Structure 1
Amino acid sequence: MGKSNVETLFTWLDQTAEVIQQRENEPYLDSLALTMDILFYKEPPEEMDEIVSHKLKQRLAEIDLSNFKTDEIRKAIQLAILKGMKDSTQQQHLMTPETVAMIIGYLAGKFMEGKKQIRLFDPASGTANLISTVLEHLEQDVEAFASEVDPTLIELAVLNSNLQKKQIEFFHQDSLRPFLLDPVDLIVADLPVGYYPDDMQANSYELKADNGHSYAHHLFIEQSLKYTKEAGFLIFVIPEFLFDSDQSDKLNEFLHNHAHIVGVIRLPESAFKSKNNTKSILILQKKGEQTEEVKQPLLVQMPSFKNAHAMADILKQMNAWFKTYHTK
């Protein structure tokens, strides 16, 4: 068995990043960003030490990006970023698991059926793995926007979308501050979980805490609804405890006033490191004049992703649900 394209490109990215890391004494993720930059421009930066530069030119001669499909490029970059994240164990640097991103892509495709043009936004885009997976599933003409506050992650995100030849406009900012962005048809986000440190900014939100810090994951939901068109859709990866926390009454009431809950998909524990990290997918539709409550929301317990039979069954049920949903 030869190496798959994904493995080949991953190995190339990984080894090249290590060459830079050893020579320049940079962290792995920064070296990876430089590697992706060099791969995109097909040459090392001019200010680089000659020995490293020569080595990198040799490495570039060994790879031709045009031999790889977009999806292979995305997956190889994802593997390299995941390797780098193992070293930097910041909680917010966790990437949305591949299968979860694919389910969101599938849902996005279903909810956007029949639209010719789509505006898509991910307000917590990290390295852009989720939004680029969703873009693979949308056949329409898509204007895509993404926001990320962390400088390393957004640098990786921009390079990631460049190498995949995906057009995404990035905002480098705190996503809970105002955006220069017109409302969109679809929002996807793996919600950052935790407290939001900026109490002054949180004050402008309905979902701010009565005292102490507010929950970032609540504010992200409110902010997302603000930038969604009437009747637009939002697909969030949420923590299991979202609706049983000390501030969930407020959240429930807010959602009741502004959105319809279209579905909740519980993800299998096996997709996450521990039971405490288990997540679900929450699907909302922003209220509008033409919208109505969903009589039968899409409620699904996902089996283990390794169980192909059970997965096929669930997809069949979901497809059947969409048939009745689209005919209403």
Structure 2
Amino acid sequence: MEKTKVELLFEWMDNTTDIIQKHIEEPYLDSLAFTMELMFLQEVPDDVDDILTHKLEHALKELDMGRYEIGEIRKGVQLAILKGMKDSTQQQHLMTPETVAMLVGYFAEKLSKKEGKLTVFDPAGGTANLLTTVLSRLEQDVEAFAGEVDPTLINLAALNANLQKQNIEFFHQDSLRPFLMDPVDMVVSDLPVGYYPDDIRAGEYELRAEEGHSYAHHLFIEQSLNYVKPGGYLIFVVPDFLFDSDQSDKLHSFLQENAHIVGVVRLPESAFKSDKHIKSILILQKKGNGTEAPKQPLLAQIPSFKNANAMADILGKMNQWFVQYTDSSQKH
């Protein structure tokens, strides 16, 4: 069978990363960042020794970036990052699956006004896979921002955005600290799940725990609401147990006060390793003048992504729901 362009690009990236890794003895993800820099610059940096320079110049001769479309580059990069993350044991080094990111992009497209400029923010940017996938679905002029605390991930994210020609401004910081950024039209994020270690910082949030560590995913929701305009939308990938945990009553009343729940869409169980990893997509609108909750929130269970007929059916129903929702929200 003939290899797809995505497979060919991934193979080139993987082989080149392997050459770099053997030479500089750094982890795969750091060596991959070097590979992505090569792809972007199309030349070997000056500070590389002769032996490696020779090997990399040879590799670059075999790469013709002009034959790859942006989507193919994104998927090739994704495969290489996924491979690196399999070797990395850190929990935060996980990437939003492409199918899930595409769904978030679908919702972003449905909820964004078609005319004018759009500002989008991901407070947990990771390698920018979710954000760049969402941006690829949006047709308007978009200005994007992302926060990420992990230096390896933000380095990969910046290179990933460059290779896809996406204009994203990155903040290398703990995203639960204040941002030097105006409120945006929309937030999209695959929320980090777990406890937030900084109890002093958490104490500034309404959703802090009464005792012990607070949930990072709750604080991220509150922080995101701080940085979205009134009437703006937030699309989160959240753990399935979000509303069943010991601190969920507090979250529920906080959301009732500050946002409208637009929809909860449960992702297919087959997309996750185990039941405890199942996720949903939570769609919120920040309360503002003239905003009101949908008469009937969008509640859906996504079938297996492999079941094309069932997927087409649910997309048809969701499209129908969005037509009614946009009609009624435009009347206000």
Shift in Å, 1:223: 0.1
Classify the secondary structure of the residue corresponding to 2:241.
helix
Equivalent position amino acid for 2:202 in 1 = A
Shift in Å, 1:15: 0.2
Q: Deviations over 1:191-241 (max 9, x none)?
A: 000000011111110001111111000000000000000000000000011
- Range that drifts further, 109-118 or 10-19: 109-118
- Range that drifts further, 41-50 or 204-213: 41-50
- Map 1:90-169 onto structure 2 (within 5 A): 90-169=90-169
Equivalent position amino acid for 1:228 in 2 = V
What's the TM-score, normalizing by structure 2? 0.98
Identity of aligned residues (%): 67
Match of 1:232 in 2: 232
Classify the secondary structure of the residue corresponding to 1:91.
coil
- Map 1:229-268 onto structure 2 (within 5 A): 229-268=229-268
Cα distance in 1 between the residues matched to 2:150 and 2:125: 10
Shift in Å, 1:40: 0.9
Shift in Å, 1:9: 0.7
Match of 1:81 in 2: 81
Equivalent position amino acid for 1:257 in 2 = E
- Map 1:297-308 onto structure 2 (within 5 A): 297-308=297-308
Q: Deviations over 1:56-80 (max 9, x none)?
A: 0010011111111001000000000
Match of 2:32 in 1: 32
Equivalent position amino acid for 2:25 in 1 = N
Equivalent position amino acid for 1:58 in 2 = H
Match of 1:292 in 2: 292
Classify the secondary structure of the residue corresponding to 2:92.
helix
Shift in Å, 1:115: 3.6
Shift in Å, 1:295: 1.1
Q: Deviations over 1:78-99 (max 9, x none)?
A: 0000000000021111110110
Cα distance in 1 between the residues matched to 2:134 and 2:154: 18
Match of 2:21 in 1: 21
Equivalent position amino acid for 1:224 in 2 = S
Shift in Å, 1:113: 3.6
Shift in Å, 1:156: 0.2
Equivalent position amino acid for 1:166 in 2 = Q
User: Between Structure 1 and Structure 2, how many residues are aligned?
Assistant: 328
Q: Deviations over 1:90-139 (max 9, x none)?
A: 11111101100000001100000434210000000100000000001100
Q: Do the aligned residues in 1 keep the contact of 2:186 with 2:232 (CA within 8 Å)?
A: yes
**RMSD of aligned C-alpha atoms?**
0.7
Shift in Å, 1:46: 1.4
Cα distance in 2 between the residues matched to 1:279 and 1:94: 14
- Map 1:165-314 onto structure 2 (within 5 A): 165-314=165-314
Classify the secondary structure of the residue corresponding to 2:262.
strand
Cα distance in 1 between the residues matched to 2:113 and 2:305: 25
Q: Do the aligned residues in 1 keep the contact of 2:29 with 2:152 (CA within 8 Å)?
A: yes
Cα distance in 1 between the residues matched to 2:293 and 2:237: 21
Cα distance in 1 between the residues matched to 2:230 and 2:217: 22
Classify the secondary structure of the residue corresponding to 1:107.
helix
Q: In the alignment, does 2:41 pair up with 1:62?
A: no
Classify the secondary structure of the residue corresponding to 1:200.
helix
Unaligned runs of 5+ in 2: none
Shift in Å, 1:296: 0.7
Equivalent position amino acid for 1:153 in 2 = L
What's the TM-score, normalizing by structure 1? 0.99
